[in-house]
Structure formats: structure tokens, C-alpha cells
Amino acid sequence: MAGNLELLSDVIARAKAENRAALVGYLPAGFPTVDDGVRAVTAMIEGGCDIVEIGLPHSDPVLDGPVIQTADDIALRGGVRITDVIDTVRRAHKASGAPILCMTYWNPVDRYGTERFAADLAAAGGAGCILPDLPVEESEVWRKAAEQHGLATVFVVAPSSRDERLAKITAAGSGFVYAASLMGVTGTRESVGREAEDLVRRTRAVTDLPVCVGLGVSNARQAAEVARFADGVIVGSAFVKRLLDAPDLESGLAAVRTLAGELAEGVRKRA
């Protein structure tokens, strides 16, 4: 069964045609449990997310902040496995029809088997994979398997990436480019926002792929700010925090759905 790279591209293009950015949500699989995680992802999409990234929980999530690390720990203590991650993708896509990606460090994929992981993710209806720690120079085996199964390979770029490096990374990717840039805390957000906008500008100079900005967006105003210059706005920790802070699951699901609605409104305002 082919993956959903085309669906992913269509959804981002449709958002652009509506003169807005796509809203991309993130949640680790197995959090709070596998079944409840599927319900949470469905609530995110019902609330207004166009695309969802399912995280593969890792024992050493070096690129994730404390909120996502907490959720990963809960999932791992709950016994989540790679098969559960793929099952989450399958069930979330089947319930919503939305493009669902897997975000994972490279080591679990390598151990599971590159070809096997790509085949299983595609069979589950997955749209692709975001691999934040896989160097482009070492990605050929994965990219071949992904292409064969109709999956996007999304690479991450950062403000520290030089233009030559941006060109190399984006030439190897598909689906979209993940531009990682923290919004920062009060008092620094303006300057960090400019840095994110500059990264998007430099990335667009070397690729026709859509550029989605992630890390740090937590409310509608920030979503509108990023939507002004990006093709997509990625939100993760804010969704996880709503579930962590909720007194019970039903309250958490309602909070996630509400946040998705607020953010969806934000990306349509394009501040």
C-alpha cells in the first residue's frame, strides 16, 4: 500500500489556496495511553489541525523540551512499542482522513529495520517521516525506502544552517521542510520571530518545498505571527501540556480540541 505523500502535499496546497498556513499538531504515541492518544489526535484534527505528527517516544529525546520529555516518559513506562506507534498512525488516519506523519530519532528506525519501518508506516496510511537527527549524508537508504513506499522524508533546518547547507538538506527532502526556531519568552519573542522569518526566507530561496515552522508556538496570537511568513505552523508542547494539566482524560480531550480551534483561527488571521 502506498503512503500518503500526495495527500500531505494536497492538504498544504489547499491551505495556501485558502490564503492561510496549514496547522500541524504533534503528540507522542502512547500518551496518555495508546488508545487515549488516538482519541487525543482525533480531537486535535476535529478541532482544526490539518496534519498531525505522531512522535515515537525515545528514552533520550535530546531535541525535545521538558513537556514532551515528560509525555515520552509516561508512554515508555506504559510499555509503548514501535508497533503501537504505527498502529496510532493507522487508527488516527482511518478516523480522520488527515495526513499523519511519524516524528522519530533515527536509532529506533534503524533497529526496527529501515525497509520494514517504511513498509509498515505506508501500510498504515502514514504520510511520511520527520527525522531530526538523521544527517542528509547518511539518509540514502531511508530515502530510497521512503520513495518506494510513497512517504515524505522531512528534514529539519535551523537558524544556524548556512545557505549552502540549506540547499543540500532541502534537495534531499520531500513533503515540506521543518524549520525549527524557538519563539522565545516574553521580551525576546520579537527578535526570535525575526530569526524564524529569516530562516524561512533563506530556505525558500533554495527550494520550492513548503516551509513549516515549529517549536515554541502555544497560542493563537503566536500562530498568526508565524502564519504570516510560513506555509505551516507546527505546535507540539502546547497540546501535550493541555493533556498533562487536565484533571481527567475527558477534560484533556476537550482542552486539546479547544486549543486546536484557537490555533486554527490564528493561522487564518495571519497577523
**Phi, psi dihedral angles at 227 (to 5 degrees):** -60, -20
Per-residue pLDDT reduced to its tens digit, 173-200: 999 999 998 655 444 455 557 888 999 9
pLDDT the model gives residue 66: 85
Q: How many CB atoms lie within 10 A of CB 133?
A: 12
Q: What is the mean pLDDT of each run of 10 residues along the chain (271 residues)?
A: 84 96 97 97 98 91 77 94 97 96 96 97 97 94 97 94 95 96 55 82 97 90 93 95 96 98 92 51
Q: Taking the C-alpha atoms of 224, 173, 135 and 67 in order, what is their torsion angle to the nearest 10 degrees?
A: 30
- For the question of residue 53 being annotated catalytic, the response is yes
pLDDT the model gives residue 2: 67
Q: Taking the C-alpha atoms of 86, 91, 94 and 100 in order, what is their torsion angle to the nearest 10 degrees?
A: -50
Three cell numbers, residue 192 = 526570535
Distance CA 128, CA 117 (A): 11
Q: Which residues of 83-105 are buried (b: 16+ CB within 10 A; e: fewer)?
A: ebbbbbbbbbbeebebbbbbbbb
Per-residue pLDDT reduced to its tens digit, 108-153: 999 999 999 999 999 999 999 999 999 999 999 999 999 999 999 9
Q: Exactly one of 35, 36, 50, 53 is catalytic; which is it?
A: 53
Residue 56: C-alpha distances to residues 6, 12, 82, 135, 179 (Å): 23, 23, 7, 18, 20
- Reduce the secondary structure of 35-53 to three states and give it as a string: HHHHHHHHHHHHHCCCEEE
Distance CA 44, CA 214 (A): 16
Nearest to 165 by CA among 176, 157, 175: 157
- For the question of residue 35 being annotated catalytic, the response is no
Q: Exactly one of 10, 35, 46, 64 is catalytic; which is it?
A: 64
Strands, E assignment, 56-136? 100-103, 128-130
